[in-house]
Structure 1
């Protein structure tokens, strides 16, 4: 009986030690949003310059959402301003009805080299799927995040997570801002 009690105590200590180790490892692996990854960069690369001249055209809700998004991204090292269309610009945002079911899309006008879009970037906002002010703002800022080279995130605290807002945030989190600043 003494031998069985000794084995039982060892198992209990082992379970306790294992629980503590798993708790410590789990807290280390579950990175806070400030340290979460961007799962790579945007496939369209980051725009070659932090000085963005934005041609903002199309539906009035898209223009308003994009203007709001520019106000959100400007506290980073990006200096974005709206310019006339046509004119001299390096970011084109067009808010029109596309037949597809996506909300927004971003592309580089030329080939991406070493993660950098060396020409200009085009953003499309889909009036068929975006219906609320919050959707317009979230999607416009998400796509401008791609202009800055940000990839998608898996945390709802970042506008770079795919999905509707709410539950996904319509704002850049600190990790997003730090990543943009590190890019330029």
Structure 2
């Protein structure tokens, strides 16, 4: 019995030692995963003027945290086109680092059909929101953003990451 308990304890310790850290509590699920490092190259793929404004603003917001963005083609791929879906934007992890289980490549998609007619302000809010997901952030709700100032809120369109968002990113990279 004692030997079984010791073996199980050692196995549990080994699993916990190699498991990726949990995402900081942020009020919502971050289904895009945690980035595998603090240096994130962003590739803009033939974006519209509004898409470029969204990426520029989103990068500026991420750069307020410990994440450093640059232009390149390896970490975050951004697209904007008319998708038939009813979402404004979408972020997903498309490649996980085999060694640590963290996200190595993200796809960020802006839906021009849903964003049609929206001002640059709304596009910048969308860029902040979707690129926030690449920093491991989930959605925020009123209970975790009572002053409604986080771009990680859905459908209220704030334009900036707030200090809670920045702290959550910094805790996860």
* Pairwise TM-score range, normalised by the shorter structure: 0.7 to 0.9
**Who wins on radius of gyration, i.e. which is larger?**
1
1:75 Cα deviation after fit: 1.7
Shift of 1:41: 4.1
Verify: 1:143 aligned to 2:135, yes or no.
no
Moved over 6 A (4+): none
Counterparts of 1:1-184 in structure 2, within 5 Å, are 37-57=25-45, 58-83=47-72, 88-110=73-95, 117-130=102-115, 131-154=118-141, 155=145, 156-165=148-157, 169-184=158-173
Relative to the length of structure 2, the TM-score reads 0.74
Tell me the CA shift for residue 133 of structure 1: 0.7
The SS at the match of 2:26 is: coil
SS state of the match for residue 180, structure 1?
A: helix
CA RMSD across the alignment: 2.3
- Whole-angstrom distance in 2 between the partners of 1:133 and 1:179: 27
Instruction: Note the alpha carbon deviations across 1:39-80, whole angstroms, 9 max, x for none.
Output: 254112112111010001222210121112211220210000
Structure 2 vs 1, CA of residues 74 and 134 (structure 1 numbering), >3 Å: closer, same or farther?
same
> How many pairs are equivalent?
142
Deviation at 1:99, TM superposition (A): 1.1
CA contact (8 A) 2:36 2:97 kept: no
Provide the rounded CA distance (Å) in 2 between the counterparts of 1:173 and 1:55.
25
Query: Would the alpha carbon gap of residues 116 and 143 (structure 1) be closer, same or farther in structure 2, given more than 3 Å must change?
Result: farther
Distance 2:101 2:123 in 1: 26
Gap runs ≥5 in structure 1: 1-36
Distance in 2, Cα, partners of 1:53 & 1:75: 15
Q: TM-score, normalised by structure 1?
A: 0.70
Secondary structure of the residue aligned to 1:162 is coil
SS at match of 1:120: strand
